[in-house]
Every structure is written in structure tokens, then in C-alpha cells.
Structure 1
Amino acid sequence: MLVGLGLGPGNPELLTLRAVRILKEADTVFVPGRIAADLVAPYRDCVVLDFPMTDDEGRIRECLERNAARIAPVAKDGLAVFGILGDPNFFSTFSRLCGIIAEHYPGIECSTEPGISSITAFAAAAGVPLGGGFIVSDGGDPSALIRLKARHPREIIAGLRAEGYREFILVERMFFPDMRVYRGDEIPEKSDYMSVLYARR
């Protein structure tokens, strides 16, 4: 298995307890650079992989394939952890790496463990409360929406369909023992206050 592990925004005190445990349990920890390596160092050794900062898609692809080939032998029979700054699901290299793994090593399962993202870290550093809805983009047109406190998800989905959204996922009570993940037609009429609805066009 390959786990993408969020290491937070760079301050070692902002690693989660869960992240520390997973680092210690891993057979091998891989990281994309020195900052991540320094965050991991108090808990275990790691392998630093080369991920160049470039817009050259050919070079990026070659780099991803080379790194996937190093990770795959560990992930095939054990626990490989890829520790990255921020959160592995939020504008991260990890999703692209998983795509390469699925293409070349289809038997390897990929999963993620959250870290403090740049958005929540920014809010704390800047003293800016984030509420009332906001748009996050890396320069591209937003194609997805996240709705918090989705207590009547079917009703919300009906409105979003009219706006062109087609893919829906509801997570209820995430990371509690009774967490539920619903997709598409299995999404219920009502859900817990602690529910998050994801929609993609």
C-alpha cells in the first residue's frame, strides 16, 4: 500500500499525532524534498526523491515514473509512505503519482491521510476567519464545490445539478468511528450536521 501523508505547512509542531504514528509504522518513508525530510527526521529515516519545479510536462511525467518505480517494490508488499507538505489531496503531487502507480502497478492500493492545508494555515497566519464561502484556485477555473453542514444533501444536489454539477460524494462524521461515505444515488435525504458534500462538474 502507498499512503500519501500530509505533513502540514512546514512547522514541526503542526504534524498530527496520526502522522507521527504512520511515519513510525511505515516500512519506508519517501519525501519530495529537504523541508519534508527535516519534518520526518525526528521520527525516522527517509528517502528523498527528486521532484523538479518545472512546467515541462514531459520532464514531470518522466520524474513521476522514475519515482513510482522506486516506491512500487515497497508498496507492493508493505507500507510505503509519501510524506508531503500540506495535505495530499489539496493541489498536491500525490494524486499524479497515484495515477502513474495505477497505470504501471495496478495491484498497489493508494490512500491518503490528511495534514493541515495551506488554506487553514494561511487563515491562522493572517488572522483571517474564513466563512461565508470562498473560492480557492491555482489559476484554473474551479470545477468542484465543497458544501459544509450538508444536512439535506439531496435538496442541495438538486440545485447543484441545475448549475451543471454531475458527480457527488457525501462524507458524514469524517474520521469518527461511525464515519460514512456515500456516492451518487446512495446519498441520503438527510445527514448529520457534521457532513461535507463534494460536487464536481
Structure 2
Amino acid sequence: MDYLPLFFDLKGRQVLLVGGGDVALRKARLLARAGALISVVAHEVDPELRELLENHHGQIIIGGYHSVLLDDKVLVIAATDDERVNESVHYDAVARALPVNVVDNPPLCTFVFPAIVDRSPIVIGISSGGQSPVLARLLRARLETLIPSGYSRLGQLVGRFRDQVKARLGSVGERRVFWEKVLQGQVAERVFAGQDEAAERLLEEQIQAGNAGHQVGEVYLVGAGPGDPELLTFKALRLMQQADIVFYDRLVSAEVLDLCRRDADLVYVGKQRDNHAVPQEGINQLLIDHARAGKRVVRLKGGDPFIFGRGGEELEQLKEAGIPFQVVPGITAASACSTYSGIPLTHRQYAQSVRFVTGQLKNRGSELNYAELVHPNQTIVFYMGLHTLRTLCNGLVAHGKSDTTPVAIVSKGTSAEQQILIGTLADIADKQDQAQLPAPAMIIVGEVVELQSKLAWFGDGAAAPRMNLAQQTRAYDEQL
């Protein structure tokens, strides 16, 4: 260990900052957040630094550095581009046994600034000992994604009730067990959901009971997005990482499932056309039963749970059973597939509205309101419509949509296996019969499809179906 990580209490204490430029401004922002009283000495001071000092009762000394400025200071920072000044600050501070940091010069530092994740009162510092500040910042960025801002409010809540818990529970062991259950249970989740008053009431109840024992669990209805794990939200990832059991459908990719907690039970409850692994009523009951057993349950759905995902039906049952729940939206397939294929759903010149429609027609009937779908300057996106593609195209044409209207099928959108097939209402069904693009697939109808060849960016961007590895190998062999 090159440096011992310490945390300075600088509230109301005097700090000297030598330098008045951009680097000094960055350090001053940190010092101000810590409550320090900052004195800046420089020949010129950045306007933003001046404003910061005015807002935080700081002091500006126009002129050069001299050692008398170290009087009554508890910390010193040199942030100038003059090596001789920086060296003087270092030697003078060391002579007075004052902690000193010379920016970007580790040999002249007795302390270094870490990369900081600030969830006050929780603060995390990451340091490379001056060897690789960029690496430290990259690690900080990764931690920022894993630690939600709600931890700040959770830390404050715990701080307010710490003395009460200490008075109620005599031994250190009892308090440790109590806080572990609180911080991994419903109190924490209420805070993360923005329900601070409910969290405080629940914590008070648990303190009065003298334990944070068995509680009803909670269900998290999580949108897994279209398949690319990088499109998950931070909140989705956090809840997946703490789930005891995960119920997932067939549209959830293997890469997304790999991000669930390693020891969580993964239960497949997917549905395919005419083949439901578990009926919807059975899924509802599984969620209720496991939550009543005190488990944290994730219901993982492809795309967004409230767009053709039957999420509302599941929540109705949870509500009736008195099970607490949270909903995490996901990127719906229409948005993701159109984006990854280079087809904007709206465009000032082509479409001023968009409709999301399910292509699963009851008994292959034609109960869709085609009259509303054929409006001009409108994009139509069909979910789950591959098996009724010809019926959908014929219905649109029969109700006045031109048979030359462009159509795109995006198969397995956002994944490495994404394929795109372009046609018109007149010929897309025949092209699909020949190409046999697999589900899941989105069907996009409208003039915006014409932009695909120009705006494609993901993969090879081809308007024709992309070949998979086996097809590429066969094509290469044929060339030989």
C-alpha cells in the first residue's frame, strides 16, 4: 500500500490553494463540497473560481505565493504551471508538517486526491497512487453505475436512527444483524423507490419490534430490453443482482440472464405461440407465493413490461394479494430495433406519429382497426406479427394503404444475429417466405423505412438479410 486512505474533516477549516486556473477550480469544487474555507493565491483568478469562492466564503489573494500564507492552514494544494513555485509550496509545507498536494507531481505530494464516488454520507475514494489517474477515473465511472444515488438518502436515514437502534439492541452482534437485514430489505428498497416516508415508518416499526425478521418479500417487474445487455438500466441491473429468484420469458437474452445474481434461481416461464411453458395464471401465483416466502423476486420481461408484456395483469394480482412491487421500464423492442436498423420512427418529412400494434390476431381474424392505421404520415410498428404478416399487409392495402408503402422486418434486433429485410406491402410477405427470418422480429411500415439504407449504422447495415457465420462459411467455400 503506497498511500493510507484517510478522510479529512475540513468543515470550517482553512485550506490554501495556490493557483487560479482550471486545475485550481477543479480542486476548489471538491474542497467547497467538503465545507473547507478556501484561500486562493494567484496573479489571475478564473471567473468561475471567483464565483465559487464568493458563494462559499472563500478568500482571493492577488499576487505571488510566500510561506507566511501557510499560517493557520491545515491543508495545502499547489496547482500552478510554475515548477519553482510548486517546489517551494512543497518544501514549505513539509517543513511545517502540513499535508500538501502538488497536482500531477506525485513525488511532491504527501497526499493524493482519489477519484470520488459521492453518495454522502457514503463516500468512496479510488486511488492509483498517482500512477494512473485515468484508470482510477474509469473505475469510478463503473462504480457510479452500480451505486444508485439513493444510497445517500439511505445513509442519512440510518444515521438518524443509529442511536435508537443502539439503545434498543444492547450487543454489537445484535445491531450488526439488525442493520444487515435493514440494508438488504424493504427499508432500503423503499428509499431506492423514492418512498422515504414509508421507509422511515417501516424502520421505526422494526426498531420497536427489536428485529428486522421475516417480512413479505417484494416483486420487481423488470424490463430487460431487446437483448443487448448494454441497454439495461442501472436500476434493472441492481435489482437483478440482488434477486433471490428470477422468472424470465423467452425474449430475455442469455447475455442479460448472465447479469443476474450468480446464486439466484432462474425459472423459465416463457411463452411461444400455442406453447406456454407456464400459463399466465400460474406465473401470477408463483410471484405471489415466492414473495410471501420473503424472497426478492424479479420478473424479467423482454423489452418493456407495459408494452404488450402483460405486466399490468401481473401487477393487478400482486396488488390484490398485498405484495409490494416495483416496476423498472425497459427499452421497448420497437424503439431498439428501429434505432439499431437505422429507421427513425418519426421524421419531420415522413412521419409525425407512430403506432405500436400487436400482430397476434385472435383466431387469425382481422379485428384490427385498419382505418386508423392507414392514416398518412404515420409509422406503424407491429409486434409479434411474423405469422400474420400476409394478413396484416393485405388488410392495410384493402383499407387504402398503397401497396408500394415500404416495409422492414427486423429480426433479433440489437443482437449480433440481427437481420433486416426490406420490401413493400405488396412483396414483403413473399420475401419473408423465401428469407425465413426468425422470431423475435418487428415489422415497421411507413415511408421512414426508405431512410434505412442511408442511416444504417449497426453491423454491416445491409438492407438485405445478413448472413450468419454458417452462411458466410458456405458462401466462402462456394467461391473456392
What's the TM-score bracket when you normalise by the shorter of the two chains? 0.5 to 0.7
Which residue in 2 is equivalent to 1:130?
Answer: 345
Q: 1:5 to 1:95 in 2, by over 3 A?
A: same
Q: How many residues align?
A: 138
Q: Secondary structure at the match of 1:136?
A: strand
Which residue in 2 is equivalent to 1:48?
Answer: 267
Q: 1:3 to 1:134 in 2, by over 3 A?
A: same
Q: 1:129 to 1:51 in 2, by over 3 A?
A: closer
Gaps of 5+ in 2: 1-217, 347-351, 360-367, 373-480
**Which of 299, 312, 319 is equivalent to 1:82?**
299
Spell out the pairing of 1:130-169 with structure 2 (5 A cutoff). 130-131=345-346, 132-139=352-359, 140-141=368-369
Which residue in 1 is equivalent to 2:227?
Answer: 10
Aligned mates of 1:17, 1:42 — CA distance in 2: 12
Which residue in 1 is equivalent to 2:247?
Answer: 30
Aligned mates of 2:272, 2:260 — CA distance in 1: 27
Gaps of 5+ in 1: 144-201
Q: 1:55 to 1:141 in 2, by over 3 A?
A: farther
| TM superposition score normalised by structure 1 | 0.57
Instruction: Please tell me whether residue 69 in structure 1 is matched to residue 285 in structure 2.
Output: yes
Which residue in 2 is equivalent to 1:120?
Answer: 335
Q: 1:101 to 1:54 in 2, by over 3 A?
A: farther
| TM superposition score normalised by structure 2 | 0.26
Amino acid at match of 1:52: K
The root-mean-square deviation of aligned C-alpha atoms, in Å, is 3.0
Preserved contact between residue 37 and residue 46 of structure 1 (Cα < 8 Å): no
Q: 1:42 to 1:53 in 2, by over 3 A?
A: same
Aligned mates of 1:55, 1:102 — CA distance in 2: 29
Query: How far apart are 1:55 and its partner, in Å?
Result: 5.4
Q: Secondary structure at the match of 1:135?
A: strand
Query: How far apart are 1:141 and its partner, in Å?
Result: 4.2
Moved more, 7-16 or 46-55: 46-55
Kindly indicate which of the two structures has a greater share of residues assigned to helix: 2
Q: Secondary structure at the match of 2:298?
A: strand
Aligned mates of 1:37, 1:48 — CA distance in 2: 13
Q: 1:34 to 1:115 in 2, by over 3 A?
A: closer
Amino acid at match of 2:269: D
Q: 1:98 to 1:134 in 2, by over 3 A?
A: same
Bigger Cα Rg: 2
Q: Secondary structure at the match of 1:43?
A: coil
Query: How far apart are 1:89 and its partner, in Å?
Result: 0.8
Render the CA deviation track for 1:110-141: whole Å, top value 9, x for unaligned.
43101111121022122122332222211444
Query: How far apart are 1:21 and its partner, in Å?
Result: 0.8
Percent sequence identity over matched residues?
27
Aligned mates of 2:243, 2:250 — CA distance in 1: 18
Q: 1:46 to 1:84 in 2, by over 3 A?
A: farther
Render the CA deviation track for 1:18-57: whole Å, top value 9, x for unaligned.
211111122322212384454122332342233332359x
Which residue in 1 is equivalent to 2:309?
Answer: 92
Amino acid at match of 1:135: R
Q: Secondary structure at the match of 1:116?
A: coil
Report 1 or 2 for greater relative contact order, CA contacts < 8 Å, sequence distance ≥ 6: 1
Query: How far apart are 1:84 and its partner, in Å?
Result: 1.1
Q: Secondary structure at the match of 2:357?
A: coil
